[in-house]
Amino acid sequence: MKALLPFLAVLPLGSFLMHPAAPAPKYAVADIPAALREGASAVVRADDEVVTVKSAGRLVHTVHRVITVFGDAGDDLGRHMVSYDALNSLSYLRGAVYDADGRLLHQLRAAEIHDQGVGDAGGSFMTDVRVRYADLRQPQMPYTVEFDYEIVSDNTLFYPTWQPQEAEGVAVQEATLHVITPSALPLRYQERRLPTGTALAHTTAGSQETYDWKLANLPAVDEEESAPPLAYLTPAVALAPGTFEVQGHKGTCATWQGLGQWSYELNAGRDVLPPATLAKVQDVVRNAPDARARAQRVYELLQGSTRYISVQLGLGGWQTFPASAVASSGYGDCKALSNYTKALLAAANVPAYVALVGAGSDHGDLRADFPSSQFNHAILCVPPAKGGPADTLWLECTSQTEAFGYMGSFTGNRHALLLTPEGGKLVATPRYSTAENRQLRRLDLFLDATGSATATARTLRTGQEQDLYAQLLHGLGPVEQKKYVTDHLRLPTFTLTKFNLAAAPAGPLPGVVENLALALPGFAPPSGKRVFINPNLLSRLPALPAQVGERQADLWLDHASLHADTVRLHLPAGFRPENLPAPVQLSTAYGTYASQYATLPDGTIQYIRRLELKRGHLPKTAYAGYLDFRRKISVADKTQVVLLKTES
């Protein structure tokens, strides 16, 4: 400022500094059609993406995205994060924010873009992945953000998927996808749920081909109860290469066989173990009666001598550490630990194959009809041995606590790509049904004459029903476990007086046993001579909200389970049941329900409840019946027993 003052002092009267004219307003909220604003927390004004395939080993992805934010639910869209790494460089990230009238409020400055590595405090990541992050959220709504960025990728195993409508409550005003590729590298694509009339424009000019898609005026989508994930419901175009190259390693993913072949060859020869480890394996499996017993001993050796660390360093995202490195260091990522276990099993004369899978309890199954890299995890598959059990054995090699042969909700009930010398083979991981996913509970409820009560409950959970509780058991201490359970008990007034979790005795499936004791003051206060009590203390299933408007999505019931409860209600002296509720029996396409009451010879009232929920994908017309099924269960679960105080 000091340098500027002398200059101002010599300006003639009437002189002025020239300022650039303010940019013309754009993206005014008034320009959004009223129909798109209805029920929307945000509207994507533009999502223009260009994918340029330069060669088998390089592509460029540019994105221009403009979003108007109307409410708190859409406020996260006012910030943007772009990741990059050794194989994906970020050319630029630009941004601006506008007010409701489309006037520029602020242009993103370089100093406002945060750049940081990806990792965690526990040190379980070894990665070169970084993110650039910009936050243009405004206190005054509505506002509009505009982001531009470009990624140059030397990892053409992955082409982007175009899905402008990625979140609930987000409408789309206009979106375009433009793909340019050499004719020698024809594009593979899959159109998903595009609106009727959406047409692909495909042209060829010389040695280049272009593909164009356009979407417009997509109203906001609400996530409905028991519906497919949003990724299955909104328009998308998935892209994939036919042939690709990553750091000199060429491959094809036009077929599952070809994609698996590339991955197998990328990791071939990296399963050699040092002599000391081979000797240890021989010692561990000595006198084991069969291949399964040998595999179990090897798995226990793995769990006791290794730990998981994520590795995402360039090609290291797909190429494993050598087994010898894991043997010496004691750690590895999912690929390295699976490859290491495969080598250990080979030393024990148990053949096995690494398999790629899309893991996560909320991760949908892969699109089997569109071969492409849809995986984020590696596990191990042990095929049946000749003359042994017919079941395929699956091993999760990253966990020090997972039960032998158990996949659970993390990798079960889906498909995986088996990596064999002949190439990839798409196979199913274990499917867990009501026979495996069980919750078996015995509860004793002791009522006193004043209406207070105490209760004890023992609950055995197996299969996927125990997954969460196994995490509590192995990941938290007793105090944190008790707090979690206390916070999630749906009871009005209670004190958790005793609590513990423990692994169930060994069985065909892992299980967790929960024991708890409750104090329930004022649980069922007398009303005159009568007491009204609901013995279903812990297993009530709530009804679902009524459907608003016409159901849009199919009915997806993705979890099968069996819950069986036996409750014994111990009465205080001088009380007897005035009546017992009638039995309830429901049998539907969604599952079955039964409840019944009986008075035992010692005067105790016994309540037995059994609920079996089926897995299935049903048309949207089935939702009304499912609503009715849940409503009837809720009514039955709330049924009260009437006790009568006898005359003294």
What are the pLDDT digits (tens) for 16-55? Answer: 334 456 778 999 999 999 999 999 999 999 999 999 999 9
Residues 166, 264, single domain; the answer is: no
Residues 235, 314, single domain; the answer is: no
**Residue 329 covered by a domain:** yes
Nearest CA among 141, 149, 136 for reference residue 47: 149
**Token pair listed for 582:** 């009638």
Single residue among 405, 428, 451 that ends a domain in this structure: 428
Question: What contacts 431, CB < 8 A, 6 or more positions away?
Answer: 412, 413
Residues 120, 63, single domain; the answer is: yes
Residues 110, 38, single domain; the answer is: yes
pLDDT of residue 648: 55
Domain hosting residue 193, numbered range: 29-240
Contact between 541 and 633 under an 8 Å Cβ cutoff? The reply is: yes
- To the nearest whole number, what is the mean pLDDT of the chain? 92
| CATH number of the domain encompassing residue 617 | 2.60.120.1130
**Residue 617 covered by a domain:** yes
**Residue 16 covered by a domain:** no
**Residue 20 covered by a domain:** no
Residues 411, 535, single domain; the answer is: no
State the pLDDT confidence band at 391, using cuts at 50, 70 and 90. Answer: confident
State mean pLDDT over 138-146.
97
pLDDT of residue 127: 67
Q: How far apart are CA 558 and CA 571, in angstroms?
A: 40
Residues 453, 392, single domain; the answer is: no
Helix (H, G, I), strand (E, B) or coil at 182: strand
pLDDT of residue 129: 83
Residues 306, 337, single domain; the answer is: yes
Residues 423, 445, single domain; the answer is: no
pLDDT in tens, 61-111: 999 999 999 999 999 999 999 999 989 999 999 999 999 999 999 999 999
> In the beta sheet, which residues pair with residue 81?
133
pLDDT of residue 195: 96
- Residue 126, pLDDT above cutoff 90: no
Contact between 586 and 594 under an 8 Å Cβ cutoff? The reply is: yes
What amino acid occupies position 562? L
To the question of pTM greater than 0.75 for the whole model, the response is: yes
pLDDT in tens, 209-252: 999 999 999 999 999 999 999 999 999 999 999 999 999 999 99
**Token pair listed for 44:** 């994507």
Among 346-360, 373-387, 465-479, 508-522, whose mean pLDDT is lowest?
A: 373-387
- Residue 507, pLDDT above cutoff 90: no
Residues 265, 351, single domain; the answer is: yes
Q: How far apart are CA 95 and CA 108, in angstroms?
A: 5
**Residue 433 covered by a domain:** no
Half-sphere exposure of 181 (CA within 13 A, CB side): 26
Angle between helices 275-285 and 334-347 (to 10 degrees): 60
Domain count across the chain: 3
Residues 74, 197, single domain; the answer is: yes
Alpha-carbon radius of gyration of the chain:
31
Q: How far apart are CA 295 and CA 382, in angstroms?
A: 9
Q: Which one has a higher pLDDT value, 148 or 308?
A: 148
pLDDT of residue 13: 31
**Residue 104 covered by a domain:** yes
**Token pair listed for 397:** 């090699």
Residues 397, 309, single domain; the answer is: yes
Residues 170, 263, single domain; the answer is: no
pLDDT in tens, 359-382: 998 888 999 999 999 999 999 999
**Token pair listed for 482:** 């008790």
| CATH number of the domain encompassing residue 336 | 3.10.620.30
| CATH number of the domain encompassing residue 172 | 2.60.40.3140
Nearest CA among 445, 469, 449, 475 for reference residue 457: 445
Question: Sheet holding 641-645: strands in order across?
Answer: 530-533, 641-645, 575-579
Helix (H, G, I), strand (E, B) or coil at 67: strand
State mean pLDDT over 498-517.
95
pLDDT of residue 578: 92
- Residue 15, pLDDT above cutoff 50: no
**Residue 354 covered by a domain:** yes
**Residue 2 covered by a domain:** no
Among 2-6, 459-463, 508-512, whose mean pLDDT is lowest?
A: 2-6
Single residue among 378, 393, 428 that ends a domain in this structure: 428
Single residue among 206, 240, 274 that ends a domain in this structure: 240
What amino acid occupies position 360? G
